[in-house]
Amino acid sequence: MEEIKDNTKKKGGRRPKAVKRDQQLGVKCTLIERRAIDARARSCGLTISEFLREMGLTGKIDSRVKVLPKEVLQITGTLNHLAANMNQVAKKRNQFDELNALERATLQQQVASIKQLAVDIKTYLK
């Protein structure tokens, strides 16, 4: 009996949400109204969509205060970017492909960036 191989790849990425917000609701307003809504949403720490959804459903807004400072958010973003690049290199290496000179140089830059981030984090926490 022949064994049938399953050549389908497993999908990676984020798991699907249990409740997906896929319905769109259009609202017409003047430029002044839009700017006012945008300003109020930003002052509450919300996106315009979150602000309008909360106002429409509950009629009130519990303002959010961002806990993480801007610098920490920037470091997190940089780390996510570096992680994605390192993941691509690891995937290529696991497929037994050789790295070309450009890829090796990029990898060295990524390593230097990671070391600099470590220094920045230590400096920030002092």
Query: Mapped to the 3 state alphabet, what secondary structure does the chain carry?
Result: CCCCCCCCCCCCCCCCCCCCCCCCCCCCCCHHHHHHHHHHHHHHCCCHHHHHHHHHHHCCCCCCCCCCCHHHHHHHHHHHHHHHHHHHHHHHHHCCCCCCHHHHHHHHHHHHHHHHHHHHHHHHHC
Per-residue pLDDT at 11 exceeds 80: no
Confidence class of residue 8 from pLDDT cuts 50, 70 and 90? low
Q: 56 or 93: which carries more pLDDT confidence? A: 56
**What does the pLDDT read at residue 6?**
56
Per-residue pLDDT at 87 exceeds 90: no
Question: Where are the chain's structural domains?
Answer: 26-65, 70-125
**pTM of the entire structure?**
0.42
Confidence class of residue 104 from pLDDT cuts 50, 70 and 90? confident
Q: What is the mean pLDDT of the chain?
A: 80
Per-residue pLDDT at 44 exceeds 80: yes
